[in-house]
Structure 1
């Protein structure tokens, strides 16, 4: 009889349920419908960043420019609307710019051979400086009321940002599991050299995942700017980057690449948002949030590590340095040559 195995997301889901139960007991306000919607809306930005980070981490990379992308795209969309461009076109322009930042990251990493940490750290600085230079560190008011629908609108009572994240997560999960390009993403994170030999287009896959991360950062910028109706240059420079990586990693995405699911990353994003919201409801000082989130990450990852080790599965996907060379047959040995002695008479 085949032994049934728990899904990989079981550990982080149990932690999420426990956290929700504890906060519900500690504060009656936490378990209200209004607060639930507030939690989900606040978590959508983290969710989009974690979604983009998932694609990058699956290939064994990392994107440190996502938080800065929120500021850059948010200020850009506000400036474009201030110039008289309708908000839907302004959104498209801002998303193209955000995606372009991701494309630049991919180009630097693949063709220039810059390590992902250094490449994205550098573009983070550029993306943070651009809105500050353009605006002189001043905020840009958004006066087009229609733009508020992205961050404040509702469809059938459900906030638009939550619906956008749900749709994006479903599409991303389906794409990664069922398409050839999605398989290539996992293959690249599992063993880059083997993926190359198997016909995976390394350049295209690398640029694609960073472009997706940039696009998700742009969506986060649109949501934040739409909720505040202000393009603020310092938006996204807080804990957003830390939360996005934490949500993906605690959700089961391996830092070594090749392991993890979109579902796990989304559960991780909800967990991070729930902790932040719950501590705000309880009026806990904000600097305690990083401590608590760090402990939750340790508990969740430890649970998954223990479960994987007991099931006999590797804790992390080890990135081999290259494919094992096929065994080669040993060259045939030459037949023994007769030993000849020199002749007593030698021709001269």
Structure 2
């Protein structure tokens, strides 16, 4: 049963990468370093949840990094302007979800390619963040806001707790609700799903709304960690999220994968980054190594799908 799970190969890969890093670095398995990895992984993992839904449905969302920046800068700006904290946070989340709904509308109802739609909204969201801030970070945030990025609850750091909660909700959603079954079905065979009576467009709209929402949550956590609304935040984060999803065993063509695999993929990427940094590997060489591993993960995933 374990071998048949989409998360089996990612788990095996995580164990091998962890063993290699432990053998080549000092203090890799120290408690401080493991907590540090989990904290570093948290933001990318939260984004990867929404990206998993998009890829499972046969799509993709390239706008998540820019939506993060827009959410963070808008929330920071509203708080500095004196808006009540709850309303400022709600406004940031609403903007992220609104961008997701916009992506979903053009993909599901206008029948436009997801990669083109989200590439366009990536530029729009980034442009709005830069326009709103004038290209400068927004600082002087209230002290209490630091809790979301640097606080802890019962000894568990807030970003890690947020990541676990988001994954728990996504696990229930994808594995134990009709929405999850429809997302898998749409990615597997959209036309057959439509002919079976499922309102495909509605569920694809929800998928992108989820992706926008998780990007907004990640943006709030990052802004809290930095205690600054950065208009250039999130650049390249969409690529890391896609890498986590693919390394977690989700088929890039949709219809096959698991949210547990995505969590493993995100952790594997974090372990790889952490270990290479501890080894003093050049950042340029790190990009090459990660690119090779991602290609290998896609190759293994594709071959395992064919055998299945």
* TM-score (ref. length: structure 1): 0.84
- Shift in Å, 1:283: 2.5
- Shift in Å, 1:264: 0.6
Match for residue 236 of structure 1? 234
SS at match of 1:120: helix
SS at match of 2:27: helix
Of structures 1 and 2, the larger Rg is shown by: 1
CA contact (8 A) 1:196 1:202 kept: yes
Pairs within 5 Å for 1:280-319:
280-308=277-305, 312-313=307-308
Selected match of 2:116 from 112, 115, 118: 118
Give the Cα–Cα distance (whole angstroms) in 1 for the partners of residues 133 and 226 of structure 2. Answer: 17
Pairs within 5 Å for 1:78-227:
78-227=76-225
Give the Cα–Cα distance (whole angstroms) in 1 for the partners of residues 170 and 2 of structure 2. Answer: 27
**Does the C-alpha gap of structure 1 residues 300 and 256 become closer, same or farther in structure 2, counting only changes over 3 Å?**
closer
In terms of mean alpha carbon deviation, does 194-203 or 242-251 score higher? 194-203
- Shift in Å, 1:305: 4.6
- Shift in Å, 1:146: 1.1
CA RMSD of aligned residues (A): 1.6
Match for residue 11 of structure 2? 13
CA contact (8 A) 2:250 2:301 kept: no
- Shift in Å, 1:54: 0.4
- Shift in Å, 1:143: 2.3
Which aligned runs of 4 or more in structure 1 are off by greater than 3 angstroms?
A: 3-6, 298-309
Give the Cα–Cα distance (whole angstroms) in 2 for the partners of residues 5 and 231 of structure 1. Answer: 44
Match for residue 258 of structure 2? 261
Structure with more of its chain in helix, by fraction: 2
Gaps of 5+ in 2: none
CA contact (8 A) 1:87 1:146 kept: no
- Shift in Å, 1:308: 5.0
Match for residue 74 of structure 2? 76
* 1:276 to 2:273 alignment: yes
- Shift in Å, 1:257: 1.2
- Shift in Å, 1:147: 0.9
Give the Cα–Cα distance (whole angstroms) in 2 for the partners of residues 142 and 196 of structure 1. Answer: 51
State the aligned residue count. Answer: 308
SS at match of 1:287: helix
**Does the C-alpha gap of structure 1 residues 198 and 148 become closer, same or farther in structure 2, counting only changes over 3 Å?**
same
